[in-house]
Structure 1
Amino acid sequence: MRAVTVEPGVANSLSLIQDQPEPAPEEGAVLVEALSVGICGTDHEIIAGLYGEAPPGADRLVIGHESLGRVLEDPTGTLQPGDLVAGIVRHPDPVPCSNCAAGEWDMCRNSLFTEHGIKALAGFARDRWRIQPHFAVKLDPALSSVGVLLEPTSVVAKAWDHIERIGHRAEWQPQTVLVTGAGPIGLLAALLATQRGFTVHVLDRTTGGPKPELVAALGATYHTVSVNDLQVEPDVVVECTGAPTVVLDVMCKAAPTGIVCLAGVSSGGRRINFDAGALNRELVLENNVVFGSVNANRRHWDLAAQALAQADQNWLSSLITRRMPVERYAEAYTAGPDDIKVVLDFAS
C-alpha cells in the first residue's frame, strides 16, 4: 500500500512509498481505509527535519496526524464497517503518569506519550491504518468531505473547555472574544466562539484572499491593525499566531478578569524589548489569567465532532483551499501563499 514517509531528523526526506506493509494487528483492532489527511505546520517542521520520531525498530515515519477514514472492520463491535472516523493523535504513556491514567493524556506530565505521525506511532498518511476503538472518533456521515478538520477542531475544543473552567473561578459573563491569527486554528476557534454566542473579533495581517470573507460569514469582525490599535477590550483572547509581539500585546489587551489562551507556538530565538513590569502589573491588578493549550483528549475530540456537526458545511468546506491526490504529495506538502488548509486525498 501507499504511504507518505520521512526519515526523522533528515531534512527533505519526504517520499511516497508504494510498497508499505499493511498495518500490523498490534496497532489496533479497527482497520480503517484512509479517505484524506490534513496538512499543517507540524508536518512542514517534521519534513524540515526539526523533529519527529519513527516507531521502535523503524527507520522511517509515516506522517499525517489529521485523519479521516472509513471503517473496514472492527471485530470488537464498537464500530461498524462504513462508519466515518478520525483517529485520535496522542496516546497515553505506558507508565502512565497521573493525568494519562485518568484519560487526560493531553496533559501528560512526563512526556512519554506517543503521537500518530509525529512521535513513535505511524501516522495516517497511508492507504489503510489501524487503531484501538477508544481512539477512533465516529463522525456524522454528513461530514464526509470536511471531517478531516476534526483534529484541529479538537485542539480549539480543548482550549474552550479550559477557558470555561478557568472562567468559572468567579462570576463570569464574557461577551467579547478576540482571536489572533486566521489560519485553521484561529478560524475554528472563532467558529466555536460564535457557536457560544460571543461577539467575535479576528485579527490577521492578511488583507486579501478568503480569510476576511470567512470571518464575515461567521458574523465576526475582521481586523488587520496591530493589537494595540484595536478598539476592543476582549474578555477572552485565543492567541493562534505564536508571534512574540502579538503574544505579549494580547496579554496587556485583555479586559479585567480576562483570560488569554495561547494556542500558537513561538519558534524562539528572537529577543524584543518589552516592559515586563507593566505586564506583571496588568495581570496581577486585573486578576487576569494566561495559559497555554495544545493537543486534546477523547472528551475534546467528542466535543469537536459535535461542533463540526452543528457548523455550516459550506463554511467548513471553504477552509479547505487545496485538495491534492496522493500522487501529487510533494505539491501538497509545499506551502502556498493563500493556503488555509491543504488536504491530501487517498480516496479515488
Structure 2
Amino acid sequence: MKALVLTGVKQFEIEDRPTPALKAGEVLINTAYAGVCGTDHDLYAGRPGSAPAVPPIVLGHENSGVVEAIGEGVTNVKTGDRVAVDPNIYCGQCEYCLTQRPELCDTLSAVGVTRDGGLEEQFTAPATVTYKLPDNVSLKDAATIEPISCAVHGVDLLDIHPYQKALVIGDGFMGQLFVQILQAYGVHQVDLAGLFDEKLELNQRLFNVKNIYNTNNVAIPENEYDIVVEAVGLPQTQHSSVLATKKGAQVLMFGVGPQEASFEMNTYDIYKKQLRIQGSFINPLTFKSAISLLESGKVDVEPLISHEFELEDVQDFLDGKIEGVSKAVVKVGK
C-alpha cells in the first residue's frame, strides 16, 4: 500500500508499505480522506502537536474510511462500515483520566501523531476511538469531524445562554466552525473578525453572521461581547479578545500559538469585569456530538472545504506553495 511517511523535519517520502498488522481490539481501515490542519504544519516542521511525532511516522489525524477488518473482541463496528476515527487515545489510569479530564492524560497517544495515521491507504486504530457514520454524512465531510469535536469541547467549557452575543476572532477553518457551533448551542448573535473579505462575507451570507470585521481595515469593538473565541493564537489577537469583552464575559483561548509567545493584559480588568479566561485542549469524548452536528445539518462544512489533494500534494501545501487554502482534505483511497 502507498503511504506518505514523515522521515525527518520537513521531509516526506512516498513509500510502498505492507498492510498494518491488526491487533486485538483494533480496526483496520481503508482510508478514504484525511484532513490536513495546523497541527500537521507543526509536526512537519518538527514542533509538537498534542504530543511529539517521532519520524519515521505517517501523519493524518483527521480520518475517515471503511472498515476492512476487525480484531478480536471488537463489537462496535463491522467490516464494511463507514467510520471516522478520534485520534486521541487515553491511558485510563493516570490522575487526569481518573478524574474525568482525559484530555490532560499523562501518556496521551494519538493516531497520526504518535502512531501511524491516515496519510496511507490503510491504517489501524483502537475500536474504542472508531465511530460508525450516519448514512447522510459523506466520507469527505467526515474527515472534518475531529476539528469539529475540538471546537465542541471548547464550547462545552463555556457557560452558554441564548441572550449572549459572541465574537469569533479568526476566519480560518476553526473560526468558521465556531460560528456555526455557537449558533447550534443557542447563542443568538455571532459576529466574526478576520483578514479575508471572501470568508467573512461567506459566513455572513450562509451562516447568519450579523457583523463582520476585516481587521486589515477596521478595529474590533471593545467592551461589547459576552463570549469571545480567539481562534488565531497570536499575541495581538489574544490581546484584542480580552479588550472585546463586556462585564461578566468569557474568553475562550482556542488558537494555538508559538510555545514561547505571550501577551500583556490589564489584571484590574479581569477583576473589574469578572472575566473568565478559558483554555481548550483537544476533544475529550466529543466525537458523538460532532457527528450529530453534521448529521443534523446544524454544521455544514462543504462550503468551507476549499481543496482536495492527493498524497503527492501534501508537501507542497505544508511548504506554503499552494495558496488560498481554507480547509484541505486529502483523498487517500481510490
Q: TM-score, normalised by structure 2?
A: 0.88
Query: What SS is found at the alignment partner of 1:23?
Result: coil
Q: Offset of 1:231 from its aligned partner?
A: 6.6
Match of 2:2 in 1: 2
Code of the aligned partner of 1:136: T
2:273 counterpart (286, 289, 307): 286
Q: How does 1:9-24 map to 2 (within 5 A)?
A: 10-18=8-16, 20-24=17-21
Query: What SS is found at the alignment partner of 1:192?
Result: helix
Q: TM-score, normalised by structure 1?
A: 0.85
Which string of whole-angstrom CA distances, capped at 9 and with x for unpartnered residues, describes residues 250-270 of structure 1?
A: 113212111101110121555
1:123 counterpart (112, 117, 126): 117
Extract structure 1 runs of 4+ deviating beyond 4 A.
268-272
1:204 counterpart (194, 216, 222): 194
Query: What SS is found at the alignment partner of 1:25?
Result: coil
Code of the aligned partner of 1:286: K
2:253 counterpart (258, 262, 265): 262
Match of 2:29 in 1: 32
Instruction: Output the CA distance in 2 between the equivalents of 1:326 and 1:141.
Output: 26
Which string of whole-angstrom CA distances, capped at 9 and with x for unpartnered residues, describes residues 272-295 of structure 1?
A: 7x4x4xx21111122110011020
Task: Identify if the C-alpha distance between structure 1 residues 2 and 28 changes in structure 2 by more than 3 Å, giving closer, same or farther.
Answer: farther
Instruction: Output the CA distance in 1 between the equivalents of 2:163 and 2:277.
Output: 16
Which string of whole-angstrom CA distances, capped at 9 and with x for unpartnered residues, describes residues 104-142 of structure 1?
A: 32132x3x2112222x22222111112222111222222
1:250 paired with 2:244, answer no
Determine if contact 2:213/2:220 at 8 Å carries over to the other structure: no
Query: What SS is found at the alignment partner of 1:38?
Result: strand
Q: Offset of 1:28 from its aligned partner?
A: 4.5
Task: Identify if the C-alpha distance between structure 1 residues 317 and 27 changes in structure 2 by more than 3 Å, giving closer, same or farther.
Answer: farther
1:217 counterpart (185, 206, 209): 206
1:322 counterpart (291, 299, 307): 307
Q: Offset of 1:72 from its aligned partner?
A: 1.9
Query: What SS is found at the alignment partner of 2:119?
Result: coil
1:195 paired with 2:191, answer no
Instruction: Output the CA distance in 2 between the equivalents of 1:25 and 1:324.
Output: 28
Query: What SS is found at the alignment partner of 2:10?
Result: coil
Instruction: Output the CA distance in 1 between the equivalents of 2:203 and 2:136.
Output: 21
Instruction: Output the CA distance in 1 between the equivalents of 2:236 and 2:2.
Output: 42
Code of the aligned partner of 1:214: N
Code of the aligned partner of 1:340: S
2:284 counterpart (292, 297, 311): 297
Match of 2:297 in 1: 311
Q: Offset of 1:305 from its aligned partner?
A: 0.8
Instruction: Output the CA distance in 2 between the equivalents of 1:53 and 1:329.
Output: 17
2:59 counterpart (43, 48, 63): 63
1:161 paired with 2:156, answer yes
Code of the aligned partner of 1:251: V
Count of residues in Structure 1 that have an aligned counterpart in Structure 2:
324
Instruction: Output the CA distance in 1 between the equivalents of 2:245 and 2:219.
Output: 11
The percentage of aligned residue pairs carrying the same residue is 21
Query: What SS is found at the alignment partner of 1:303?
Result: helix
Determine if contact 2:36/2:329 at 8 Å carries over to the other structure: yes
Provide the aligned C-alpha RMSD in A.
2.4
The structure with the greater share of residues assigned to helix is 1
1:148 counterpart (143, 146, 150): 143
Task: Identify if the C-alpha distance between structure 1 residues 282 and 195 changes in structure 2 by more than 3 Å, giving closer, same or farther.
Answer: same
Structure 2: runs of 5 or more not aligned: none
Code of the aligned partner of 1:224: N
1:77 paired with 2:75, answer yes
Q: Offset of 1:197 from its aligned partner?
A: 3.2
